[in-house]
Amino acid sequence: MAPNDSYGTLSGSNRAENGLSNGNGAGGEHGALLGKSNDENSFMERSRRHMTADVNKTYGDLVLLFCYIITGLLDSSSVQVWGSFVSMQTGNTVYFGLGLANPSQANTRWIRAAISVASFCLGSFFFARYHRHLGARKRWVMVSAYALQIVMMVAAALMVTLGPVTGPSGSVSIWISIPIALIAFQAAGQAVTSRVLGYSGLTGVVLTSIYCDLFSDPKLFAPLRENVERNRRATAAFCVAVGALLGGLWAHSEFGLPGALWNAVGLKALVIVAWFFWKAEAESSS
């Protein structure tokens, strides 16, 4: 009798019948589990690579221009209701100086302006270091930075919606100071983004320098496709005007400032979605 090559196993096709390699048996179940685990690992790895990749700077100016609409919306409504800006700190600095020249208990605009300027400066300090230390253009950093901004806007919107009616004069209560501080702080995040993406001229909060650069441009009247910088500057001014129009409409409606703030929250949420799906920077081959 020929000796058995293996102990306790059957050779040939009988091995499959014994269930050791049958796809419908334990081996098949084990393979299915391994396949599922591999799929999960693959999904997690793709997600990790997606969120840690740098976002492509190309067409990033479109997001910054969109943020100008948010700036116009917030500034126009806040200056009508609170008497101070939340993004344009040049105007607030002027209000602050005027208030110091003639401070009075009736006129508290300069105090509101000072709160806005100080909060914007703190926001610039925070968001610049947030991007610098965590990875300037990493997708998760961009998304989380704007998520922080939207959290602050939601908090401000809730306070304005649920709190007492406020106006441009009178004492500065927490129902005025905290929303102003939160909105001004988050507005700095938009300005920092322009530096991160390399579009320093599109801060999302300032137009004076843009007007100067626009109308001093030697190629001001060049064809549309021959002067991209001119196009950006003109679009920025237009977007602020559109946002200011929206803010004015909200301020004079029955919804008032709360409506403008919630509108701005929705617009900023679109920016988060944009960064989440934005094209990644191509990896350099080494």
- CB neighbours of 140 closer than 8 A, spacing ≥ 6? 51, 52
Q: Where are the alpha helices (DSSP H) in the chain?
A: 13-17, 26-52, 60-81, 89-101, 109-134, 139-162, 174-197, 208-215, 228-251, 256-277
What CATH number has the domain spanning 63-277? 1.20.1250
Q: What is the pLDDT of residues 22-66, one digit of tens each?
A: 445 555 555 555 555 666 678 888 888 999 999 999 999 999 999
For the chain, the structural domain boundaries read: 63-277
Written as six digits, the tokens of 134 are: 């965590």
Average pLDDT of the chain to the nearest whole number:
87
Alpha-carbon gap, residue 36 to 124, rounded angstroms: 45
Alpha-carbon gap, residue 103 to 101, rounded angstroms: 6
Q: Is the pLDDT of residue 6 over 50?
A: no
Q: Can you give the pLDDT at residue 197?
A: 94
Q: Can you give the pLDDT at residue 13?
A: 47
Alpha-carbon gap, residue 207 to 19, rounded angstroms: 75
Alpha-carbon gap, residue 219 to 265, rounded angstroms: 37
Q: Is the pLDDT of residue 7 over 50?
A: no
Q: Is the pLDDT of residue 17 over 60?
A: no
Q: What is the pLDDT of residues 65-78, one digit of tens each?
A: 999 999 999 999 99
